[in-house]
Amino acid sequence: MAFTLGFHIILASLGVALPALMLIANYRGLRRDDADALKLARRWSKAVAVTFAVGAVTGTVLSFEFGLLWPAFTGRFGQVFGVLFAIEGIFFFLEAIFIAIYIFGWERLSPWTHFWTGVPVVITGLGGAFSVVAVNSWMNQPQGYSPATGDVTSVEPLKVIFNPAVPYEVPHMILAAYLVTGFLVASIYAVGMLRGRRDRIHRLGLLIPLTVACIATPIQFAVGDTAARAIAKDQPVKFAAMECVQRTSTHVTEYLGGRCTSTGVKGGIGIPGFDSFLVGWSTSTQVVGLDSVPPDERPPANTMLHWAFDTMVGICTVLIGLALWLGIGWWRKRDFPQSRWFLRATAVSGVAAVIALECGWIVTEVGRQPWIVYNVMRTSDAVTNASGVWVTFGVVVALYAVLGAALITTLLAMSRRWRSADEEGVVVPYGPESGPPPDVPTGAVR
Amino acid sequence: MTKADAVAVVLWIGVTMYAIFAGADFGAGLWSLLSGSGDRGRRPRELIDWAIGPVWEANHVWLIFALVVLWTGFSSTFEAVFSTLFIPLSLAALGIVLRGAGFAFHHNARRARGRALAERLFGLASVLTPFFLGTVVGSVAGGRVPVGNAAGDPVTSWLNPLSLVIGALFLSTGAYLSAVFLVSDARRAAAPDLERYFGTRAIVSAVVTGALATIGLFALRRDARFVFDGLTSDGLPLVILSALCGIAVLVLIHRRARRGARVLAAGAVASVVWGWGIAQRPYLLPQKLTIADGAAPSATLTSVLVVFGVAVVVVLPALGLLFALAQRSVIEETSGPPPPPPEEGMGARS
């Protein structure tokens, strides 16, 4: 399930944020009568459709997995967190409907009406992200049900929905979605420009998503910092594992990199007292260590966890540098920096952002282990008793490999088709549909 | 009616919607698979693509809806069903993944080979999911799913005559529904040859479905006495209604009536689903777990009902808008033009 979620999280991020990029392009196209921006909006809307369709499939599979892999978890707590998924269901439903209307309405609705049918897509994306991430937050900070052990007999839905981890986990994830999508889309156009395609479409296609991502990144840094401090308070063991803090103490050294051992971090760069400072703005702050709980309640794979956390923070820091670069360039010349190095950095930023996203996912999920519901239910107690879980899991992995490959080839095929269409100079949104319909001749191109 | 019963009704609404809309979708996949390879099946397949293109994602959301209501309102039932019947449910999920992938990608596959492969996948997947979901229903009705984490037999719980018959029944029901729907779609696309093509198929699949339903009744009598007794007492009016709807559809199609067939076909399916629900009362898992015993705490049930109320107010109008636009062909996939005008010697009776 961790694997499927790791895959789904990318698609879900695209599903949340890509419609926003599409609408920004659409808005600009209509406001400034910019045909290129409209063309971009139209292309992105098709990418939205494909990623949403695949995201819907992975989402359906995830809802199966709640039963196929974690029946005991869902059997006991489904009645507690399920309402959030019910709410998510509404958002998801509306998103599907409005995406369909938006995509198929390009030529049939008046331009501004059409623009407004896209707005619900963005809003429902945010709402859906809230509901789903709130479930994960609840797993980190469970509350709102009783009794503490055995069958749940009473539930307080509002306490479940607005659990203490929501205020930092939800914004962190939504910003991550915008950040990842922005850098990912920008990186595609940066690669195109590096290959010499410097037309206006590519410039706009780079600038719109990159601006969104660059605005999101510094905010994300601050939100993430707040989240880390909150985790030090709410889930001290997870925090200790992220930072490899073995013993509860003050004046704790912050290590970058290194290998976690039971006697402390080996290798890595140490900044004395900085970890304590980060937690409580003073080097004399006490940081809870892994020794506060028995060994069987500590997260596994400590070194990996520590590296995942450091990688995420490191990538975010570097991306802020990229944002500054863009900001300075824009301030001085009203344009993004023209150097190839800027384009190269942007081209890498997409993959980097995805890695940061996955690292964040590892930190929050592995860091919570061995609990599936923090301090309440162990993952090993949640899993299905059916044999053959590994077979199911293997099949799922294989399927996702196929799905991922197919998704990428499809998006590539779409972009190739657009490029050849560019060279012919056809397809103006809201104009009469000239040229061949985009989906025809089998084997005609190339 | 208690709150738990109300949530059970909500669940059943989801199941009914899924049975009708996704059933028709899956059936279309089956027809696409049976239409033959290459040029022979090209026109029926084009019609199928054109007909289910714009709305297909929305249809599958009903399944997620039903699952979420089940695990929220009746968590222990969800646990019992999914852990015991993990084999058929995994295969059903496999079908959903393959189908989604096949459908999404065949629009974009550029080479004929890729396209044919995607179509094949789409068709095959459309068989897997309804069949195995049917076996799951058969297992539940047959009382083979005990409460608990994987407490039932992983194989015999679904590999038995009753489950297999119900699986086949699901398959043929989907085929029947979609053939009826496609007749109307063919008329909208002004393709009389395809109208005849799917008319024939609607009649054949209706007869097969009727036969399977009869066999299913016998299997129920032997294997699931409780549900059988329910179907032949409290549920009997609905069973009869379903049969009448089915016959009326055949008459309408035979007379090539312009309207009514789709609604009646959907009605035939809906009345069977509700007949089953009534026959199972008051059990979620027949003779093992009742609705009252398996229900979530009161506050959760209230939330589910509130959310459902909001959904009715918000989602249904939007969904109606989408269907209305799709039906009026106001919005059409630009990449999928209606099938070309009929060509001589193709489709009609191939």
CB distance B121 to B99 below 8 Å: yes
**Best to test chain B binding among A3, A48, A64 (most B CBs inside 10 Å):** A64
Q: What is the amino acid identity at position B284?
A: L
**Best to test chain B binding among A45, A61, A63, A380 (most B CBs inside 10 Å):** A63
Give pLDDT, residue B208.
Answer: 92
Taking residues B54-78, what's their average pLDDT? 77
Q: Comparing B49 with B34, which gets the higher pLDDT?
A: B34
Chain A stretch 116-155, residues whose beta carbon is closer than 8 A to a beta carbon of chain B: 145, 152-155
Q: Does the beta carbon of B42 lie under 8 angstroms from any beta carbon of chain A? A: no
Distance, CA of A268 to CA of B107 (rounded, Å): 51
Q: Comparing A256 with B58, which gets the higher pLDDT?
A: A256
Q: Can you state the angle between helices A302-333 and A200-234, rounded to 10 degrees?
A: 140
Instruction: List the one residue out of B299, B284, B286 whose CA is nearest residue A79.
Output: B299
Q: Inform me whether the pLDDT recorded for B336 exceeds 60.
A: no
Question: Does residue B313 form part of some domain?
Answer: no
Give pLDDT, residue B109.
Answer: 60
Question: Does residue B350 form part of some domain?
Answer: no
CB distance A407 to A413 below 8 Å: no
Question: Does residue B153 form part of some domain?
Answer: yes
For A153, name the nearest residue in chain B, comparing CA atoms only.
Answer: B297
Give pLDDT, residue B58.
Answer: 59
Chain A stretch 370-409, residues whose beta carbon is closer than 8 A to a beta carbon of chain B: 384-388, 392, 395, 399, 402-403, 406, 409
Q: What does A132-180 look like in DSSP terms, one character per residue?
A: HHHHHHHHHS--SEE-SSSS--EE-HHHHHT-TTHHHHHHHHHHHHHHH
Residue A252 is classified by DSSP as P
Distance, CA of A77 to CA of A67 (rounded, Å): 12
CB nearest A85 (choices: B68, B79, B109): B68
- Structural domain for B248, as ranges: 3-292
Instruction: List the one residue out of A282, A171, A268 whose CA is nearest residue A221.
Output: A171
Q: Inform me whether the pLDDT recorded for B41 exceeds 80.
A: no
Q: Which of A143-147, A265-269, B66-70, B342-346 shows the highest mean pLDDT? A: B66-70
Write b or e for each residue in A403-436: b if 16 or more Cβ atoms lie within 10 A of its Cβ, otherwise e.
beebbeebbebbeebbeebeeeeebebeeeeeee
Give pLDDT, residue B338.
Answer: 43
Mean pLDDT by 10 residues, chain A (446 residues): 70 84 85 83 83 78 81 81 86 84 78 84 89 87 78 79 85 89 87 81 84 86 85 82 79 77 75 79 78 79 81 85 83 78 83 86 83 80 72 74 76 76 48 32 30
Question: Does residue B345 form part of some domain?
Answer: no
Give pLDDT, residue A434.
Answer: 31
Give pLDDT, residue B11.
Answer: 84
Q: H-helix or E-strand containing A378?
A: strand A377-378
* A386 half-sphere exposure, CB direction, 13 A CA radius: 33
- 3 state SS of A443: coil
Instruction: List the one residue out of A22, A346, A42 whose CA is nearest residue A189.
Output: A346
Distance, CA of A378 to CA of A412 (rounded, Å): 42
Q: Inform me whether the pLDDT recorded for B152 exceeds 70.
A: yes
- Counting DSSP H helices and E strands in chain A, the numbers are 13, 8
ipTM value for the complex: 0.80
Q: What is the pLDDT of residues B178-217, one digit of tens each?
A: 899 888 888 888 888 888 888 888 889 999 998 998 898 8
Question: Does residue B336 form part of some domain?
Answer: no
Ranges of beta strands (E only) in A243-347 are 254-256, 259-261, 264-266, 269-271
Instruction: List the one residue out of A426, A151, A310 whose CA is nearest residue B148.
Output: A151
Chain A stretch 31-50, residues whose beta carbon is closer than 8 A to a beta carbon of chain B: 50
The phi and psi torsions of A266 (rounded to 5 degrees) equal -100, 135
Q: What number of other Cβ atoms are within 10 A of residue B306's Cβ?
A: 14
Taking residues B89-111, what's their average pLDDT? 74
Q: Does the beta carbon of B304 lie under 8 angstroms from any beta carbon of chain A? A: yes
Q: H-helix or E-strand containing B11?
A: helix B3-17
Distance from CA of B147 to the nearest CA of A (A): 10
- Counting DSSP H helices and E strands in chain B, the numbers are 14, 2
CB distance B30 to B204 below 8 Å: no
Q: Inform me whether the pLDDT recorded for B115 exceeds 80.
A: no
Question: Does residue B284 form part of some domain?
Answer: yes
Q: What does A113-137 look like in DSSP terms, one character per residue?
A: HHHHHHHHHHHHHHHHHHHHHHHHH
Instruction: List the one residue out of A401, A315, A396, A397 whose CA is nearest residue A351.
Output: A315
Token representation of residue B197: 């093509």
Give pLDDT, residue B111.
Answer: 64
CB distance B262 to B180 below 8 Å: yes
| CATH code of the domain covering residue B212 | 1.20.1630.10
Distance, CA of B141 to CA of B283 (rounded, Å): 10
Burial of residue B118 (CB within 10 Å: 0-12, 13-18, 19+) is buried
Lowest mean pLDDT among A413-422, A434-443, B21-30, B318-327: A434-443
Q: What is the amino acid identity at position B210?
A: G
Distance, CA of B186 to CA of B197 (rounded, Å): 9
> Which residues in B lie closer than 8 A to residue A98 (C-beta atoms)?
318
Q: What is the pLDDT of residues B235-273, one digit of tens each?
A: 888 889 998 998 898 888 888 876 788 888 889 889 888
Residues facing residue A266 across a β-bridge? A259
Distance from CA of B209 to the nearest CA of A (A): 28
Distance, CA of B34 to CA of B262 (rounded, Å): 22
Question: Does residue B34 form part of some domain?
Answer: yes
Give pLDDT, residue A431.
Answer: 33
Q: Do A54 and B310 touch (CB under 8 A)?
A: no
Give pLDDT, residue A428.
Answer: 36
* Number of domains within chain B: 1
Q: Does the beta carbon of B105 lie under 8 angstroms from any beta carbon of chain A? A: yes
**Measuring CA to CA, how many Å separate A349 from each of A16, A191, A312, B66?**
19, 11, 13, 40
Q: Given the structure tokens 């609607």, which residue do they identify?
A: B202
Taking residues B167-179, what's their average pLDDT? 90
Q: Given the structure tokens 């090539």, which residue do they identify?
A: B256
CB nearest A53 (choices: B76, B79, B100): B100
